[in-house]
């Protein structure tokens, strides 16, 4: 047994939900266990260890409202030996996504010839472009992305900041929006460009199994602070492809939440991917599409890294 498996650390901070920093989901004895990641990132404590009688997933935990903070100290087990799942491995419904939400990316997409959704000559959208990916597309940090070679020859990556909703609501104002956010994570909005173009909508080309890598965990909103200050970077096989900051979003997170919730009740555990910056594969001439074996690594300030490999 290593040192961490027996280490005990004080419970030092709480937020409005009583949580601390990072929530992950791991596999223990064949079942998905949501819980806390220790401050040093090396330990894990299942939620059932500090929420009496709790047996649900992370969405259930979020939906309970305030999580009772452990009294005294937490016994961490080593995270290293536990298979990491997506923080929300089985979302209750589709992941909301925003397209063309950074100016330079909107321009590269418009100029790529792959965008069949834009009005002629339009680069930046006038209103948020919203689509969804199904729960079955979600995979964990470290999981393989399936290449679907029989369906697509134009596989692409999109590094994105994702918002996780805590407090439910409809008709949420921009001013109130961030109070509904429970935390943030990283999403890779994998896209088959040929399907996106051919079918003249975005669902099919972005929704295949494994096309929504997510994680490695959710960092609570209080720990992230202002979400409009985060550097987003993406490497493919070590080559830096995307580099931007969330301050450059065309439609900021409050606007996105206000737009979606105008007529749709947002629920605890809903996930919203906020769009990708410039530097996706179709932004290059010639395009740099993904190939089997390619390693995609996304880093966002305060959220860690999400790494996935295209399966052979």
- Number of Cβ atoms within 10 Å of the Cβ of 142: 15
Scanning 19-27, 67-75, 154-162, 207-215 for contacts with Mg ion by CB under 5 A, the matching segment is 154-162
Neighbours of 182 (CB within 10 A): 25
Site stretch for Mg ion (CB under 5 A), options 28-36, 45-53, 209-217, 274-282:
274-282
For the CB of residue 113, give the shortest distance to Mg ion in the complex, in Å: 18
List the alpha helices (DSSP H) in 120-224. Answer: 174-177, 193-198, 203-206, 221-224
Q: Which is nearer to Mg ion, 47 or 187 (CB)?
A: 187
Alpha carbon of 233 to those of 38, 63, 116, 147: distances in Å? 25, 31, 27, 22
CB burial of 55-89 (b: ≥16 within 10 Å; e: otherwise) equals eebbbbbbbbeebebbeeebebbbbeebebbbbbb
Q: Which is nearer to Mg ion, 43 or 99 (CB)?
A: 99
Task: With H, G, I as helix, E, B as strand and everything else as coil, classify residue 163.
Answer: strand
Q: Residue 176 contacts by C-beta under 8 Å, 6 or more apart in sequence?
A: 169
Nearer to Mg ion, 22 or 193 (CB): 193
Segment 169-228, which members bind Mg ion (CB under 5 A)?
A: 189
Minimal distance, residue 259 CB to Mg ion, in Å? 16
158 sits near Mg ion (criterion: CB under 5 A): yes
The residue among 231, 239, 244 whose CA lies nearest residue 295 is 239
**Is residue 294 involved in binding Mg ion (CB under 5 A)?**
no
Tell me if 19 sits within 8 A of 50, measured CB to CB: no
> Which residue of 276, 307, 308, 309 would you call a contact of Mg ion, by CB under 5 A?
276
Nearer Cβ to Mg ion (130/228): 130
User: Candidates 144-152, 179-187, 269-277, 280-288 — which segment interacts with Mg ion by CB under 5 A?
Assistant: 269-277
For 150-173, b where at least 16 C-beta lie within 10 A, e where not — what string? eebebbbbbbbbbbbbbbebeebe
State both tokens at 127: 């209103």
Q: Which stretch binds Mg ion (CB under 5 A): 104-112, 158-166, 180-188, 210-218?
A: 158-166
Nearest to Mg ion of 20, 96 (CB atom):
96
Residue 115 touching Mg ion (CB under 5 A): no
Q: Mark the segment that binds Mg ion (CB under 5 A) among 19-27, 157-165, 167-175, 245-253.
A: 157-165
CB of 98 to Mg ion, least distance (A): 7
Q: Which residues contact 3 (CB under 8 A, 6 or more apart)?
A: none
Q: Which is nearer to Mg ion, 88 or 161 (CB)?
A: 161
Please tell me the number of Cα atoms within 13 Å of 35 on its side-chain side: 29
Q: How many residues bind Mg ion (CB under 5 A)?
A: 3
Residue nearest to Mg ion (CB): 189
Nearer to Mg ion, 137 or 276 (CB): 276
In angstroms, what is the minimal distance from the CB of 291 to Mg ion? 20
Whether the Cβ atoms of residue 179 and residue 167 lie closer than 8 Å to each other? yes
Q: How far is the CB of 172 from Mg ion (least distance, A)?
A: 22
Q: Which residues bind Mg ion (CB under 5 A)?
A: 158, 189, 276
């Amino acid at each position: 047994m290593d040192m961490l498996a027996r280490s005990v650390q004080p419970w030092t901070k709480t937020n409005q939900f009583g949580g601390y920093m990072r929530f992950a989901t791991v596999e223990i004895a064949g079942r998905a266990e949501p819980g806390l990641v220790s401050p040093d990132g090396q330990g894990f404590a299942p939620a059932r260890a500090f929420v009496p009688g709790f047996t649900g997933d992370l969405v259930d935990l979020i939906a309970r409202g305030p999580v009772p903070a452990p009294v005294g100290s937490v016994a961490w087990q080593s995270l290293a030996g536990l298979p990491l799942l997506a923080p929300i491995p089985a979302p209750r419904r589709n992941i909301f996504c925003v397209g063309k939400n950074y100016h330079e990316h909107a321009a590269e997409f418009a100029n790529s010839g792959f965008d069949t959704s834009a009005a002629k000559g339009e680069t930046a959208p006038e209103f948020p472009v919203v689509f969804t990916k199904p729960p079955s597309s979600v995979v964990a940090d470290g999981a393989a992305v399936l290449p679907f070679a029989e369906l697509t020859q134009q596989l692409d990556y999109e590094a994105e900041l994702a918002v996780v909703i805590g407090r439910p609501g409809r008709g949420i104002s921009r001013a109130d929006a961030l109070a509904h956010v429970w935390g943030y994570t990283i999403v890779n909005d994998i896209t088959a460009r040929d399907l996106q173009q051919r079918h003249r909508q975005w669902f099919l080309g972005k929704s295949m199994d494994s096309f929504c890598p997510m994680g490695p965990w959710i960092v609570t909103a209080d720990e992230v602070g202002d979400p409009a200050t985060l550097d987003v970077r993406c490497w493919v096989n070590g080559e830096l492809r995307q580099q931007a900051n969330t301050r450059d979003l065309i439609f900021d997170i409050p606007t996105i939440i206000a737009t979606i919730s105008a007529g749709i009740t947002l629920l605890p555990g809903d996930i919203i991917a906020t769009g990708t910056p410039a530097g996706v594969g179709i932004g290059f001439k010639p395009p740099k599409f993904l190939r089997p074996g390619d390693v995609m690594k996304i880093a966002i300030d305060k959220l860690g890294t999400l790494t996935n490999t295209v399966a052979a």
